[in-house]
Homo-oligomer: A and B are copies of this chain.
Amino acid sequence: MKSTTIYDVAKEAGVSIATVSNAINGKGKVSKKRKDEIFKVMERLKYQPSVIASALMGKKTYTIGLLIPDVSNPFFAEIARTVEDLAHSEGYSVIVCSTDNRDERVEKYIRLLEQKNVDGILIGTGMENSEILAQLAEKDLAIVMIAREASSIAVHSVVTNDFRGGTLAAEHLLGHGHTRMAVLAEDMRVTSSLERVRGFRFGLFEAGITLGEEHIETCGSGIKDGKRATVELLRSKDRPTAIFCCNDLLAIGALQAAKEAGVRVPEDLSVVGFDDTILSTVTNPSLTTISQPMDQMAQLAFNLLMNPPESSEIKQRIIMQPELVIRESTGTLQ
């Protein structure tokens, strides 16, 4: 069943398609009477303008792309939801793209999004090779990075002060008297993770404690990875009394490893996560973690995407402050 087109309503209303188009878009001048007539016909015929056709004429597609490592990771699922709601309220749809932080996927997705003429891309994924981004930045496609750094490429970005987040974690742990600590870092592609580690290290450094390379475990970013790495740590002779994990998933893995090893949290081991996802409220003990103001970040990023600043040469970089959320997984050694 062919759907009704602008021709159908034009014929039905006894006007030209140009007039119908003008009426719909509030362009040109159309007499009130004609306009009412047209709208009545549109209603009767259940006419819905084709986004495809109007996009072909250089109008928007009312679609944006959201690149994230993985929607099934609660942190990104929450971002996706927020972005989706914002977009929806402005008539946009969002195409979700899980990249697993893999360059081929990033590249393939971006190409797909370009072919579909999306109006903008929100990038919250890490990537090895920023060439892809560099190429993108040269086209006139709107791009905003969210919760990730765009090393050296000129794009707008909304990020959390990850360094500060790491330092917050360090200070909290130091406050509980810990001195032998370890870090679970995500893999090198995610720049935010690196910053967190740096910040953590800096916090310890300020307190006169050095965190050796051997106490930084670079693992994946899932629960299993965190568990595996923690099993290692707990086995070592100078076992740490506290672990800072660069995301909540890793922290949960740490919790599980501790439980299996009979190590009590927080009595024998403190664990700090990052992101403050729903998961951190669900574990037992619940997770002390560093939170980012995700809703605000999504809001700002979306706005930047839709209404880029006039002077397009200057790229904005909005930095949000993280917060320490104290729950049950941290405490003083007993």
Contact = CB atoms under 8 A, between A and B. Distances in A.
Interface of A: 1, 3, 48-53, 55-56, 61-63, 65, 70-74, 77-78, 80-81, 84-85, 88, 91, 93-98, 108-109, 111-117, 138-140, 223, 252, 255, 259, 278-279, 281-285
A78 B282 CA distance: 18
A71 B63 contact: no
Given A77-B77, A282-B252, A94 B96 contact: yes
A44 B108 CA distance: 18
A6 to B, nearest CB: 13
| Most chain B beta-carbon contacts within 10 A, residue among A51, A116, A282 | A282
Contacts of A284: 255, 259, 283-285
16 contacts: A1-B138, A1-B140, A3-B139, A50-B56, A51-B117, A52-B56, A70-B81, A71-B77, A71-B80, A71-B81, A72-B77, A72-B80, A73-B77, A80-B96, A84-B98, A85-B98
A84 B96 contact: yes
Contact of A51 (B98, B109, B115): B115
B93 A95 contact: yes
Question: Top 3 A-B pairs ranked by shortest CB distance?
Answer: A284-B284, A72-B81, A77-B77
B279 A52 contact: no
A246 to B, nearest CB: 18
Q: How many copies altogether? A: 2
A27 to B, nearest CB: 19
Contacts of A72: 74, 77-78, 80-81, 278
Contact of A282 (B1, B80, B279): B279
Contact of A116 (B93, B109, B278, B283): B93
A139 B1 CA distance: 6
Contacts of A77: 71-74, 77, 80
Given A53-B56, A71-B84, A93-B112, 7 more contacts: A48-B115, A50-B115, A52-B55, A72-B74, A72-B278, A91-B112, A259-B284
